[in-house]
Structure 1
């Protein structure tokens, strides 16, 4: 029997620090531009960024942070947040990005579940930190991303980020870590039960960065100027903070101001060629340009994901502004990128209608990801564009388990996404429904179950159902359908006010409809299919304001 022959190649680990080290060494003068919360624009280079990331690593080590410890962040897209991305993972700690838009109690759960040693925060979140700190006893310290002169007045004792960095010299060598060690921790939005943690590795992060940069995906190169509108606290800004240094692209970080005017002015000033974000953000940009008559002079392509992109938005970008809008799909458990809607040479020769039909779908997988759809019997369904089933995925940057959970989510080595989809003969996937009754508003998930549970806690409510209603701005917003208790009275305004301080403000339903009874299935469950059909044409009050 022949003995397998091993290759004779260097065993150089794929580490996150190697991405920034590469950019610093080979694209050292390329700019990183940030709109700071202080209001000004900050500029420096990849070489500067690596030095400060090393200073941060030294500072954290001096504080007693060890490999494997989690460091939380509550921060916008900016150069300090980027330094934390690399300064923590570079010596083996784990960067734990936290979504500040979550309800505070969810953030408390996430910080405690992750067992964060320190949490670094932008000063805009000072009040939030004051509310969180007493409920997070294991956090050793809270570090404000500011210099000493701009430290916010708080009840929570805080350290200054700039003082921590300034105390070190940056004379530090990134250690050669095992590429399978943890690098980043990102939590889901907690749509059903508590949020769940996806723990990425150095290897998965680097491979994902390669995939994001492929021509069939973003196509990033050193000639590009990339502006991730998607927050760095949301699945690592879809991998752009890693793909940009990998390719040597200029990086522009927009901070907290994501309105149409602010984004347009920053894009034009910095000659941005590539961007990525959820449809709601692009709606604001398109509305601003339509109102002012302005045009984009440098933007060439943008990835739109987080929720389904309206076909009209794709055509507006393409036909009115000459920008390629790329429909993408993924999820936190996938690091997140899974599919992109871009045509090959043969598909680009088809009729405009056929091309448009493909581009409106979520797209085909990028190398590294495989997918299939399965029926109720667990068997794989054909790729005919008609059969639909639950979407399963697998690949080297897809989780095989949740952080601190002993229960594997995998089914025969595949991850069930919870989405229902079709796949056509071209391999283009289209999401047709969700296996759970979730509502996606502006790219963020809302739990219908949680909304219903809060409603029935009201003494005047006998039963409640929450469904999604179409919205011209947020795409989907929650509608609450309620059966009152006998001889009880409650108004729409009273019910909506009942949600204050119980759920995140953006989770509160936009409208309430009172009915005599709710439809149920044969097993006694709420029949939301019937409800969605019944209220398909319901117009939300907030939708009227947008239209008017």
Structure 2
């Protein structure tokens, strides 16, 4: 029997119209150098329409790529909807990429227009002559240090100012492209992921589910995770769907400014990588700041140390471990206590919350042996590669004929190594390339890092495998002490702290203390830099 349901397209236009017509008085706030910039969804909707009109007049047509190079701001949020709702494709550029990667991405995507925040103009000017496809630059805000190399260019407010506050939105196919983002390119060239209207629509509903992030109209959401990478984990789109108040940090990412924003705006939900929350926890040990409005902070990008979960719990802050990738839109799993786990001892609850948790409805997963390809048992011990599929999971990379190995038999091979417990919850033990294989046995660098960061004198820790003449690889721990303990901690102290928790052969060969751990463009530990720096370390110590 044929379905009798309406053929209703799942596009971002639905979220846009809901936000504008049902929640016009709800607020959107952006931190600036001075007082925050405030307006409403109603005013936002008018400016989104003006922006769409300006893009159309500038020659942007359906399927064109319109790039952004900017911070988390109200203007960036206007672009999040104007571009895809008029039929073009929003391409968010990572502002922290290496120059050669940035040039490669702009040219691979064939961006037609680039919107750039004023203070970031100098970063683009260095490469302006290498962007042949770009026909217009739109400058968002004052560009005090610009040299004029971006041509032709126009100020954002001038660009949209003369256009009507209404727009005749086209009817769109839900499977048409809405946005694209490139992976952070840790090895080789970055890969483009293209999101459809349908995939973003369904991902947004997943974020709003009670067992997702439970985003609701009454929430005040602060997306610290950058809008230029992986859709800011879906929170800007989800907020528009339900009419939640949005708070954008702009370029102000230091712990004090973030904490004050949460306090002032009474933020209920925020999202960021672990390094941000480590900084917040450290700040709360020194300052009296009221963060009681927070009902949950969502954390991903890299594994959340259990010590961070416990430390924030002691400050009455609930941190929820999330997992996803650029290829998964990105939210794919969350770690929340199940109903039958709420009476467990606190230590056991912390252990559960440190897992990557349960995949969202709409996401299928399997964990397979990396040699045989068979699914591993759910015994919480057997390692395997995590693979996922679902309506907001990519099935191929943009303009890449070599995608087949990554997308096998309808599954995305994530490159993450995981174990599964009897409840079907996931714990990532490492990336396939970051596992340390010592004497034929696997050592999880992530688990070691989490344990080391539980030491009260440690701020951050990163473990890498380095070559060894006998064991092939051995773990080396690179540790950043808390500032007040910089000269009061030793390698032996760290090893003594680890001994009760891991097998003897898991113990790092050495612990070295460094001032800072190098980070990738999205705030993850950059292990390839440390591996390169210390690749001869083990051999030189023998």
2:414 corresponds to 1:417: yes
CA distance in 1, matches of 2:516, 2:108: 38
Residue 536 of structure 1: CA displacement?
A: 4.8
1:368 aligns with 362
Helix, strand or coil at the partner of 1:246: helix
Residue 40 of structure 1: CA displacement?
A: 3.7
CA distance in 1, matches of 2:221, 2:178: 23
CA distance in 2, matches of 1:282, 1:47: 33
2:402 corresponds to 1:429: no
Over 3 Å counting, the alpha-carbon distance change for 1:198 and 1:155 in structure 2 is same
CA distance in 2, matches of 1:310, 1:283: 9
Structure 1 residue corresponding to 2:328, chosen from 314, 323, 334: 334
Over 3 Å counting, the alpha-carbon distance change for 1:530 and 1:169 in structure 2 is closer
Q: Which stretches in structure 2 are left out of the alignment for 5+ residues?
A: 437-448, 478-505, 518-542
CA distance in 1, matches of 2:106, 2:355: 36
Contact kept? 1:34, 1:42, Cα under 8 Å: yes
Structure 1 residue corresponding to 2:513, chosen from 540, 544, 548: 540
Residue 475 of structure 1: CA displacement?
A: 4.2
Residue 420 of structure 1: CA displacement?
A: 0.7
1:512 aligns with none
Over 3 Å counting, the alpha-carbon distance change for 1:53 and 1:435 in structure 2 is same
1:57 aligns with 52
2:380 corresponds to 1:378: no
1:262-277 residue pairs with structure 2 within 5 A? 262-277=257-272
Contact kept? 1:469, 1:536, Cα under 8 Å: no
Residue 351 of structure 1: CA displacement?
A: 2.9
Residue 543 of structure 1: CA displacement?
A: 5.5
Structure 2 residue corresponding to 1:78, chosen from 65, 73, 81: 73
Residue 529 of structure 1: CA displacement?
A: 4.4
Over 3 Å counting, the alpha-carbon distance change for 1:162 and 1:176 in structure 2 is same
1:142-221 residue pairs with structure 2 within 5 A? 142-146=137-141, 152-157=146-151, 158-221=153-216
The answer to which of 406-415 and 216-225 deviates more is: 406-415
Over the residues paired in the alignment, what is the CA RMSD in angstroms? 2.4
2:85 aligns with 90
2:353 corresponds to 1:359: yes
CA distance in 2, matches of 1:330, 1:323: 22
2:483 aligns with none
Contact kept? 2:180, 2:193, Cα under 8 Å: yes
2:340 corresponds to 1:346: yes
Residue 217 of structure 1: CA displacement?
A: 1.7
1:134 aligns with 129
CA distance in 2, matches of 1:387, 1:152: 55
Contact kept? 2:356, 2:427, Cα under 8 Å: yes
Over 3 Å counting, the alpha-carbon distance change for 1:134 and 1:527 in structure 2 is farther
CA distance in 1, matches of 2:34, 2:317: 29
Structure 2 residue corresponding to 1:476, chosen from 439, 462, 472: 462
1:519 aligns with 468
Residue 427 of structure 1: CA displacement?
A: 1.5
Residue 390 of structure 1: CA displacement?
A: 0.7
Residue 477 of structure 1: CA displacement?
A: 7.7
State the Cα deviation string for residues 221-279 of structure 1 (Å, max 9, x = none). 11110101101012010000101011111100011111111011111111101101011
Helix, strand or coil at the partner of 2:195: strand
Q: Which stretches in structure 1 are left out of the alignment for 5+ residues?
A: 440-466, 482-517
Helix, strand or coil at the partner of 2:112: strand
Helix, strand or coil at the partner of 2:342: helix
CA distance in 2, matches of 1:331, 1:71: 22
Residue 295 of structure 1: CA displacement?
A: 3.4
